[in-house]
Amino acid sequence: MPVALKRVYDRPSLSDGKRVLVDRLWPRGLTKQAARLDRWLRDLAPSDELRRWFHERPQFFPAFRKLYLKELSTPERLKALEELYAVVNSSKKVTLVYASTNTERNNATVLKELLEGMRKPPSSSGPARAIPARIAARR
């Protein structure tokens, strides 16, 4: 089951297979027709607070990853994750689509790692260092 990553602004192709948008916000300046998505799983996106924190501190990707995986273990996010697993299991190829300009370190890359291992996120983990207390306290 191949899983690919692609920016939503890159031209869709038939080789993408099922295209799943994994961002909470709709990409600016893009129509639904141009995006050619099969699914939009916005509940898989990181919280707005975590997304903003990481956007300002991309050097803390390991901390972002740890907190994002913890967010994915909440009941509402697990439901969306199960939907994604179902799409992957029923498709020959899936492309996770995202809007981030950072193509190597974003929430879609974390999701791809999960899918490649077909495992669920850890149920609990302590807050990572260098995380603002208000974010760590929510987790």
Give the Å distances, CA to CA, from 46 to 16, 34, 42, 61, 83. 24, 24, 9, 13, 16
- Structure confidence by residue, pLDDT tens digits, 62-104: 999 999 999 999 998 999 999 999 999 999 999 999 999 999 9
Estimate the crossing angle of helix 75-89 against helix 107-117, to 10 degrees.
60
Q: What is the pLDDT of residues 104-133, one digit of tens each?
A: 999 999 999 999 875 555 554 433 433 444
Q: What are the domain boundaries of the chain? A: 3-138
pLDDT tens-digit readout, 27-70: 999 999 999 999 999 999 999 999 999 999 999 999 999 999 99
Q: Which helix (H) or strand (E) holds 98?
A: strand 94-98
Whole-angstrom CA distances from 19 to 53, 55, 71, 103, 120 are: 27, 24, 23, 17, 21
How far is CA 55 from each of CA 13, 24, 76, 87, 112, rounded to the nearest angstrom?
Answer: 29, 14, 24, 28, 19
pLDDT of residue 121: 55
Tokens describing residue 70 = 């913890």
